[in-house]
Amino acid sequence: MPELKTVGLFILTALAEIVGCYLPYLWLREGKTIWLLVPGIFSLIAFVWLLTLHPTAVGRVYAAYGGVYIAMAILWLWTVNGIRPTLWDIVGSAVALLGMAIIMFAPRSS
């Protein structure tokens, strides 16, 4: 079950980063209220904190996290922006997730 916990943590981390970037985007590009920066800041603080909870070397976490972020961004594109992913979006996300799995779950010598 540690693999499931790791993937869940990656998903929460990606969601916190996406929300923390999307809210300022709404203010800057869509003319929404500046008050969106407040939850955006807290979301980015949560993102940084969540990164510290990962149980492996930080460089490995950053590398593997990128794969989950790609998949979450494509999911965000679909659910929030209402743009259905293309086959290539899905294939690219699957490749990125495979890369994450290889990086995080490959056997390692101590």
pTM for this entry = 0.81
Question: Does 53 fall in a domain?
Answer: yes
Question: Does 38 fall in a domain?
Answer: yes
68, containing H or E segment: helix 58-79
Q: What angle do CA 70, 71, 73 make, to 5 degrees?
A: 65
Residue 66 burial (C-beta neighbours within 10 Å; 0-12, 13-18, 19+)? middle
How far apart, in whole angstroms, are the C-alpha atoms of residue 77 and residue 90? 12
Question: Does 91 fall in a domain?
Answer: yes
Question: Does 110 fall in a domain?
Answer: no
Question: Does 67 fall in a domain?
Answer: yes
Quote the domain boundaries for residue 8. 2-105
Question: Does 90 fall in a domain?
Answer: yes
Residues 55-88 pLDDT 10s: 777 778 888 888 999 999 999 999 999 999 999 9
Number of folded domains that form the chain: 1
Residues 8-64 pLDDT 10s: 898 999 999 999 999 999 999 999 999 999 999 999 999 999 988 887 777 788 888
Q: What angle do CA 51, 74, 7 make, to 5 degrees?
A: 35
